[in-house]
Structure 1
Amino acid sequence: MLTGMLDGLAAQTRPADAIFVIDNASTDHTRAVLDARSDLPMHITTSGENLGGAGGFHLGMLQAYDAGHDRILLMDDDVVPAPDFLEVMAAHQGPCQMAVREDLQGRLVEKAAIRFDLDNPLAIKPKTASVDSTYATRAEMPAEVEVENVAFEGFMVRRDVIAAIGLPDPSFFIFYDDVDFAIRARTAGFPIVCLRDAVLVRQLDFNQQHALDGWKGFYMYRNLFVVHFRYGSNLLVRLKPWLIMIMVVLLSPLRGGRGEAANVIKAIRSAREMRHLDPASSPAALRPSR
């Protein structure tokens, strides 16, 4: 998948000025794949440990920011950009843009939330409308759709946004780091739009259903709770994680079992310690702009 994504970047009508690759302590032949790409302006960092997606995006954005770039695009290795992808993204002058993803069959699979509800305590799942739940096809979309959260899989942000709100929070490790960043951007007055004509093709099926009794389940619960603790607009929303925890524990004999119950209890304990942004992600941690 990494090879396919790099091939896509090499074929861009508007080439990237620099590509910062964070190799998260891989143990396969990733480095050999990267070293073979002399056709791309890559800066490769191999971390000493697995930083998770959140830590990787934090480090990559920091490196690109320190290098002085004015627009920074975040991507994962399981998407392939259309040839005019960077041209479309860079032509838009807004502060934050999100690509619109499709699957290998050309079906719309963009999960960015048009509505992410942190006002209603009865909205157990805060994402109440997404791009692909609102529009059946790309052709039905307007050229721009304003969204309330994003995925770090085709998200471009302007330098002044980073200077104002800081970097992705690495303490999330995986899941919701992109949601947290989008909320901070919008709260600071920077709108986010999905660009219909910025096409990314996802190489894997879009399966967001993970076993909630496993390690991913812990991070899904914890980081969802963190977002509510940090950004819930009222006391009832900020108390919602406790309600979810109680419901999961009470229903565990019927679904999820002891593993999910243990995860959700551990998750809420950990989330309470993450009520505030990691200092490494604050604007104060950034070097002054050149």
Structure 2
Amino acid sequence: MSTAPETVAVVVVTHNRADLLLHMLDGLRAQTHAPDAVIVVDNASGDHTSDVLAFHDLPGLQVLRSEDNLGGAGGFHLGMKTAHAQGFDRVWLMDDDVVPAPDCLAVLMSYDGDCLMAVREDRNGHLVEKAALRFDLSSPFAIKPKTAMVETTYGERSAMPPTVELENVAFEGFMVRRRVVDTIGMPDPSYFIFYDDVDFALRARRAGFRILGVRDAVLVRQLDFSQQHALDTWKGFYMYRNLFVVHLRYGENVLVRLKPWLITAVVVLLSPVRGGRAEASNVIRAMRAARGMRSLPPTTVD
């Protein structure tokens, strides 16, 4: 008795990056394994994103236009909810600034895994996969919980084994099966941006699902990583708040759950010689806001 092949929907979230989105959609059109649907969540873009989406000839393209910017977290929540409601077996989450190699989706679909991650490189072919091999929420001495990642552990793609087990992911090339969503629910939209993917991965692993990074599934980033330098901007508020939420929700002991208060105190004390008033204000506001987000998101898919 033959088994029908699994269906897959791609969910892309975009905001005011029409030219990057165009390259990304071209990459999806070139896939040797064509997705069954491509659901693009347009987060209230004010550029020519609507024109790109209106005139692109990508088969199976669906556009969800939000009048408000839901952030990446809200966009992925909406997109995954839509894909789940339409009955797809797998959902492949994608940002607008990456381009998959032509066989990327085919490689992922060839693996029988509930949670799979494509491995990112930059435009020069250098490995830039920052997904964690170790995300430590047990040691109070791990100031940054990501203590090992693919990029720094292996250096180059050729040094990787065919699959590596991951402890967190990015919603750039992450594929998840329907039964995972049925078990743990949707991405948490309250994160707005940053750490919504980490939160989802933590919940998946705690429910018993393994996450595998697939070496031969190649995803190319069109932009360099630069968020780590934005701690005194509006993005810094979300970076601090959401990092604190992860510790408060998933810290494995009381000392780890106290780390956000320690980080807040240190950042404020050092603010005269590093981030200044803006970063100090961000971290104080972040600590206050994180306390209101300690409850886990619902496991329902409604």
Q: Which amino acid aligns with 1:132?
A: E
C-alpha displacement of 1:255: 1.2
Q: Secondary structure at the match of 1:206?
A: coil
Match of 2:41 in 1: 22
1:133-152 correspondence runs (5 A):
133-152=152-171
CA contact (8 A) 1:98 1:192 kept: yes
CA contact (8 A) 1:170 1:177 kept: yes
Inter-partner Cα distance in structure 2 for 1:145 and 1:39: 32
Q: Secondary structure at the match of 1:197?
A: strand
Q: Which amino acid aligns with 1:115?
A: R
Match of 1:284 in 2: 300
Match of 2:246 in 1: 227
Cα deviation digits, residues 149-180 of structure 1 (max 9, x gap):
00000000000000000000000000000000
**Does 2:273 match 1:254?**
yes
C-alpha displacement of 1:254: 1.4
Q: Which amino acid aligns with 2:143?
A: I
Inter-partner Cα distance in structure 2 for 1:206 and 1:119: 27
**Alignment match of 2:232 (pick from 203, 209, 213):** 213
1:115-264 correspondence runs (5 A):
115-264=134-283
Match of 1:106 in 2: 125
Q: Which amino acid aligns with 2:216?
A: D
Q: Secondary structure at the match of 1:168?
A: coil
Q: Secondary structure at the match of 1:209?
A: helix
Match of 1:48 in 2: 67
CA contact (8 A) 2:184 2:300 kept: no
C-alpha displacement of 1:258: 1.1
Q: Secondary structure at the match of 2:139?
A: coil
**Does 2:98 match 1:82?**
no
CA contact (8 A) 1:108 1:137 kept: yes
C-alpha displacement of 1:98: 0.5
Inter-partner Cα distance in structure 1 for 2:58 and 2:158: 34
Inter-partner Cα distance in structure 1 for 2:245 and 2:143: 14
Inter-partner Cα distance in structure 2 for 1:260 and 1:207: 17
C-alpha displacement of 1:93: 1.0
Match of 1:95 in 2: 114
What is the total number of aligned residue pairs between the two structures?
Answer: 283
Q: Which amino acid aligns with 1:66?
A: A
CA contact (8 A) 1:18 1:43 kept: yes
Match of 1:57 in 2: 76
Q: Secondary structure at the match of 1:196?
A: strand
Return structure 1 stretches of 4+ with deviation > 4 angstroms: none
Cα deviation digits, residues 59-92 of structure 1 (max 9, x gap):
0000000000010000011111111111011111
CA contact (8 A) 1:103 1:203 kept: yes
CA contact (8 A) 2:81 2:301 kept: no
Inter-partner Cα distance in structure 2 for 1:117 and 1:95: 22
CA contact (8 A) 1:144 1:194 kept: yes
Identity %: 66
CA contact (8 A) 1:210 1:216 kept: no
C-alpha displacement of 1:210: 2.8
C-alpha displacement of 1:211: 2.2
Inter-partner Cα distance in structure 1 for 2:161 and 2:301: 38
Q: Which amino acid aligns with 2:279?
A: E
Inter-partner Cα distance in structure 1 for 2:301 and 2:162: 36
CA contact (8 A) 2:182 2:301 kept: no
Inter-partner Cα distance in structure 1 for 2:96 and 2:141: 36
CA contact (8 A) 2:133 2:165 kept: yes
Q: Secondary structure at the match of 2:212?
A: strand
CA contact (8 A) 1:113 1:128 kept: yes
C-alpha displacement of 1:47: 0.3
> TM-score normalized by structure 1?
0.96
Match of 2:17 in 1: none
Match of 1:265 in 2: 284
C-alpha displacement of 1:48: 1.2
- Structure 1 gap ranges (5+): none
